[in-house]
C-alpha cells in the first residue's frame, strides 16, 4: 500500500469511527479501536476525533450542568469563563454568592438590581473613585456596601485575568512547518 492509499484508508476508517460515535454503535467503535491499537496513525486520528467531539459538545454539556446547578443548588457557584471585561453584574453575582456579614437590607436590594447591570467596571477601583462612579450610575448605597463591592470586584478581576493568562499558556501550539513529514 503506497502512502496515498494508506492516508485514504486512515481517513475512511476515521470517518467510519466518527459515524459509529454519532450513532452510538459501540460494537463498531470497539472493533475499530482494536485495529487502531496496532496502527499509531489511526489511533492519532481517533484521538483527534475525540478532541473535536469534546470541543463541540463541551459547551452544551457545560450549559446544561450550569443550569441544573443554578436551579437546584442555589448556594452553588458556577464559574464561567469571562467573554469580555468584568461587569458590574459579575461583581454583584460574586457578592450574592459570598455576601459579607451585616450588610443592610438596602444594600442587598441594590446588589440584586446590579446582578443585571451589563456595564463594565471602571479602570480605577479605588474606593472613592468607584463609589463616585457607581453612585452616579446606580444611586446611593452605604459605604460598607461599596467597600464590599470593591473587594469582590478586585477578586473577580484577578480571577478573570488569571483565567485568560492560563488559556493563553495552555493553548495548543501549532506545529512548526518543518515538523511535519
Q: How confident is the model at residue 151 (pLDDT cuts 50, 70, 90)?
A: very high
Long-range contacts, 62-68 (Cβ 8 Å, 24+): none
| pLDDT higher at 17 or 60 | 17
pLDDT at 21 over 60: yes
- Read off the pLDDT of residues 126-138 as tens digits, 9 standing for 90 and up: 899 999 999 999 9
**Is residue 33 pLDDT above 60, yes or no?**
yes
Q: Alpha carbon of 57 to those of 18, 81, 82, 108: distances in Å? A: 14, 16, 19, 37
What the block records as the C-alpha cell of 84 is 469580555
* Mean pLDDT of the region 25-47: 91
Which has more pLDDT, 81 or 57? 57
Residue 28 is placed in which grid cell?
A: 463498531
Which residues does 44 contact at the CB level (< 8 Å), separation at least 6? Answer: none
What DSSP character marks residue 104? -
Better-scored residue on pLDDT, 83 or 162: 162
Domain assignments of the chain as residue spans, ordered by start: 3-73, 88-168
Would you state the cell numbers that stand for residue 162, as one nine-digit string?
Answer: 488569571
Mean of all residue pLDDT scores within the chain: 81
Flag the least confident range among 79-88, 95-104, 133-142, 153-162: 79-88
Cβ atoms of 28 and 20 within 8 Å: the answer is: yes
pLDDT category at 166 given cuts 50, 70, 90 is low
What is the distance between the alpha carbons of residues 152 and 101, in angstroms, rounded to a whole number? Answer: 14
Grid cell, residue 99, equals 455576601
Identify the helix (H) or strand (E) that includes residue 27: helix 26-36
CB 72 within 8 A of CB 86: no
The CA-CA-CA angle for residues 136, 156, 67, to 5°, reads 105
Matching residue, cell 493568562 = 165
Dihedral of alpha carbons 111, 116, 147, 158, sign:
positive
Question: Quick check: helix, strand or coil at residue 171?
Answer: coil
85 compared with 167, residue with greater pLDDT:
85
- Asked whether residue 121 carries a pLDDT value surpassing 70, the answer given is yes
Q: Compute the average pLDDT of residues 94-115.
A: 87
Lowest mean pLDDT among 41-45, 82-86, 99-103, 113-117: 82-86
Predicted confidence (pLDDT) at residue 73 exceeds the cutoff of 80: no
Amino acid at each position: 500500500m503506497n502512502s496515498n492509499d494508506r492516508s485514504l484508508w486512515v481517513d475512511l476508517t476515521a470517518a467510519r469511527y466518527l459515524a459509529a460515535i454519532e450513532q452510538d454503535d459501540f460494537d463498531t467503535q470497539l472493533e475499530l479501536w482494536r485495529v487502531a491499537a496496532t496502527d499509531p496513525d489511526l489511533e492519532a486520528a481517533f484521538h483527534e476525533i475525540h478532541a473535536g467531539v469534546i470541543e463541540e459538545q463541551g459547551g452544551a454539556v457545560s450549559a446544561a450542568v450550569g443550569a441544573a446547578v443554578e436551579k437546584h443548588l442555589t448556594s452553588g457557584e458556577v464559574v464561567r469563563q469571562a467573554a469580555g471585561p468584568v461587569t458590574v453584574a459579575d461583581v454583584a453575582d460574586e457578592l450574592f454568592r459570598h455576601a459579607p456579614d451585616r450588610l443592610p437590607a438596602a444594600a442587598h436590594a441594590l446588589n440584586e438590581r446590579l446582578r443585571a447591570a451589563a456595564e463594565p467596571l471602571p479602570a480605577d477601583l479605588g474606593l472613592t473613585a468607584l463609589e463616585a462612579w457607581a453612585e452616579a450610575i446606580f444611586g446611593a448605597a452605604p459605604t460598607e456596601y461599596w467597600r464590599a463591592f470593591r473587594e469582590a470586584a478586585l477578586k473577580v478581576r484577578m480571577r478573570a485575568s488569571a483565567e485568560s493568562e492560563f488559556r493563553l499558556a495552555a493553548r495548543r501550539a501549532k506545529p512548526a512547518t518543518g515538523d511535519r513529514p
